[in-house]
Chains A and B, each alone.
Chain A
Amino acid sequence: MSFLPYALAAWLFFVGLYGIVTSRHLVHLVVCLGVMQSSTYVLLLAIGYRTGKKAPIFTSGVPTKVGAVDPVVQALTLTDVVVSVVASALILALVIEIWKRSGKLDPDELGKQET
């Protein structure tokens, strides 16, 4: 079952993308974007995993003997999480603006001309 983590990443990505494509509400769209972004965390961590190895934290000295998983992808995931959080905050701020100006939250309604 070694492909399962990769399959999970793919599933999260496509489920999120499906949500964005069919979204009828801008806040729902931001949540879907969050789901999509979490697929990258799963993918990064899955790539760096080594069977039977510990976390790359050597406080107790244990992993020095056993070996540790890849620390670089973990640091990249940290960056990824921070970026996704601030991106969500920024988009939500835009959503508030859109709502204030047009009173609409359905992305399909936004393009339509005012009558």
Chain B
Amino acid sequence: MSPRVRLGLFGVSAAVLACLFVWALTGLPQFGAFRGEYGRILNSAAGPERHVTNVVSAVTFDYRGFDTLGEEVLLFTAVMAVALLLREARSGDERRADAVRSDVVRAVGLFAVGPTVVMGLYVAAHGYLTPGGGFQGGVATASGLVLLYAAGRYRAYRAASPKTLIDFAEGTGVGTYVVVGLAGIVVGGSAFLENVVELGVKGTLASGGTIAILNAVSGLAVASACVLIFHEFLEELMTAK
């Protein structure tokens, strides 16, 4: 297909799609005037029911907790697929020298590792109280580790994230989610992902019941997933001829 034919086809189909889009938009509420009852009810129910102050986390880990389990499994599967694709094809072990030569980059970058990891853990730990959560905090924590490579040495990064430990953490993160879900049936005697833990005092770290646990294990799963993905791509870079 020549570029011109392709562009023509794109133009026609994009125009059709744009018409459908505009048609769909006419059925949407005016911007700023959304009247969805579901969200409104959750906003008033999440606090008294689950003793959390961040309703988005309550939705993620409780009201739509089953969706999040699907998301965790998707994350796990995708990471496994990346590892399978890249690990198998890897050959040779010629190591490249670290790219960073500047002392300033090194000093500032390495200085930022600690604060970044602490901030990531803070965001993850307070996920059900303030803006943040396991997913966001997990990524921030992982990026702290990645800084070790970006500003420091590849070897230091590898030492800080041994592959067996990260593999284990990734599996544990996803597995514990399922275990907590099953506990709702076995211990709680009701439904999958039903709360089985003391709800605690609203506004403190010891609150939220299973939301707190699921938030933590999601953080673990996401952080190790990010480190794993980065591992695989980095390994690719380091062994490339």
Contacts and interface: CB of A to CB of B under 8 A. Distances in A.
Given A22-B7, A50-B34, A90-B78, A58 B55 contact: yes
Contact of B82 (A51, A69, A90, A100): A90
Interface string B204-241: 00000000000000000010010001001100100000
Contacts of A63: 43
Nearest to A59: B53
A71 B53 contact: no
A71 B130 contact: no
Contacts of A10: 18, 21
Interface string A61-77: 00100011111111100
B97 interface: no
Contacts of B89: 97, 100
Nearest to B202: A58
Q: Report the contact-size class of chain B (Cβ under 8 Å from the partner).
A: 35 or more
Contacts of B46: 71
Interface residues of A, number: 49
A78 B55 contact: no
Interface in A71-92: 71-75, 78-79, 81-83, 86-87, 89-90, 92
B78 A89 contact: yes
Contacts of A21: 6-7, 10
B79 A86 contact: yes
